[in-house]
């Protein structure tokens, strides 16, 4: 089952509403359209209520029957947009991990302000190469996808260059547990913690660590998420990758990020936490 998101629901419903309008403009009932298309009688109703997503072939047939072929290209584009808001990892990574890394590069290149929160993994833009290798190897083994880990590591390292470009700012928030429950073993985590300590001194990057606490209240840990400018948010869930474009939803993630920022520690205090979390030699 796909996760609830008003952005995804709204995109699917807008497509369904437009298809309904085309049918009505053509003077057809739902049953008549189904008969013309050779579909089961309830299929049109399910599509129009957004309970069953149409395929691209369904959209083409719908437009042809309704005499609205000029609408086909735009409606198929809308369909692909709605589908893209929720992507299962197995679909995103079916041709390997490298492709999944490269596919998101254009988004990173056009973003000027990055905000990322993580409760279980160091965000990709500030990972060391060895940490990235350990993470992607764990993904590859857990999900049983094609083994192109080294190519995927190279792609992620290339993506990190966006942080070094002018007019880019980034703010990262990680839970203290991220530092203590790591990947790759003690040596990898020592190197990763040292890298994060260095990042706390970078002028265009803010790194906050949220200390462990027995009572976090309303600012309890959340799912990992990224905010790209104020245009898009991405949420990483166990089964897939959610893209949020609805302004009110993006604002909700921005508000949560601001809330987490208030309880994080920075600078010397963050480096103290990094030092205490770093495994001893």
CATH of the domain at 13: 1.10.260.40
pTM of the model: 0.75
Q: How far apart are CA 194 and CA 182, in angstroms?
A: 14
**Same-domain pairing of 113 and 235:** yes
Does residue 156 belong to any structural domain of this protein?
Answer: no
Q: How far apart are CA 242 and CA 268, in angstroms?
A: 35
**Same-domain pairing of 58 and 117:** no
Q: How far apart are CA 90 and CA 146, in angstroms?
A: 11
**Same-domain pairing of 177 and 256:** yes
Mean pLDDT value of segment 175-191: 95
Task: Give yes or no for residue 93 having a pLDDT over 70.
Answer: no
Q: How far apart are CA 17 and CA 12, in angstroms?
A: 9
**Same-domain pairing of 39 and 110:** no
Q: How far apart are CA 176 and CA 173, in angstroms?
A: 10
Convert the pLDDT of each residue in 7-41 to its tens digit. Answer: 667 778 889 999 999 999 999 999 999 999 999 99
Q: Shortest CA distance to 188 belongs to which of 119, 243, 135?
A: 135
Check which CATH number belongs to the domain holding 191 and give it: 3.30.870.10
Mean pLDDT value of segment 1-11: 58
**Helices 6-25 and 56-65 sit at what angle, rounded to 10 degrees?**
30
Does residue 238 belong to any structural domain of this protein?
Answer: yes
Q: Shortest CA distance to 104 belongs to which of 121, 113, 92?
A: 92
Convert the pLDDT of each residue in 227-278 to its tens digit. Answer: 999 988 988 876 677 888 777 888 999 999 999 999 999 999 999 999 999 9
Domain carrying residue 194: 88-95+105-123+163-277
Residue 207's DSSP bridge partners are 172
Lowest mean pLDDT among 58-67, 86-95, 118-127, 217-226: 86-95
Radius of gyration of the CA atoms of the chain, in A: 23
- Which parts of the chain fold into alpha helices (H)? 6-25, 30-37, 43-48, 56-65, 72-84, 89-92, 97-103, 105-110, 129-143, 149-159, 176-180, 186-199, 247-263, 267-277
**Same-domain pairing of 262 and 167:** yes
Half-sphere exposure in the Cβ direction for 124 (13 Å, CA): 25
Contact 44, 31 (CB under 8 A): yes
**Same-domain pairing of 116 and 218:** yes
Q: How far apart are CA 23 and CA 160, in angstroms?
A: 48
Contact 160, 109 (CB under 8 A): no
**Same-domain pairing of 167 and 211:** yes
**Number of domains comprising the chain:** 2
**Same-domain pairing of 71 and 180:** no
């Amino acid at each position: 089952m796909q996760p609830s998101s008003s952005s995804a629901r709204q995109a699917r419903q807008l497509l369904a509403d437009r298809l309904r309008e085309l049918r009505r403009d053509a003077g057809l009932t739902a049953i008549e359209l189904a008969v013309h298309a050779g579909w089961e009688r309830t299929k049109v109703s399910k599509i129009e209520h957004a309970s069953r997503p149409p395929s691209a072939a369904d959209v083409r047939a719908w437009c042809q029957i309704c005499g609205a072929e000029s609408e086909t290209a735009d409606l198929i584009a809308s369909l692909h947009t709605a589908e893209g808001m929720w992507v299962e990892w197995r679909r995103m990574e079916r041709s390997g991990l490298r492709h999944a890394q490269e596919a998101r590069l254009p988004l990173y290149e056009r973003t000027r302000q990055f905000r990322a929160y993580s409760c279980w993994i160091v965000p990709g833009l500030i990972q060391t190469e060895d940490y990235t290798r350990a993470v992607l190897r764990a993904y590859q083994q857990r999900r049983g996808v094609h083994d192109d880990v080294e190519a995927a590591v190279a792609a992620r390292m290339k993506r990190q260059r966006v942080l070094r470009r002018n007019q880019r700012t980034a703010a990262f928030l990680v839970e203290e547990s991220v530092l203590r429950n790591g990947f790759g073993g003690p040596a990898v985590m020592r190197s990763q913690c040292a890298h994060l300590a260095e990042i706390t001194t970078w002028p265009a990057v803010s790194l906050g660590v949220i200390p462990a606490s027995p009572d976090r209240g309303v600012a309890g840990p959340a799912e990992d998420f990224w905010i790209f400018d104020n245009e898009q948010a991405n949420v990483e869930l166990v089964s897939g990758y959610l893209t949020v474009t609805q302004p009110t939803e993006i604002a909700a993630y921005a508000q949560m990020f601001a809330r987490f920022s208030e309880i994080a520690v920075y600078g010397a205090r963050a480096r103290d936490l990094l030092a205490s979390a770093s495994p001893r030699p």
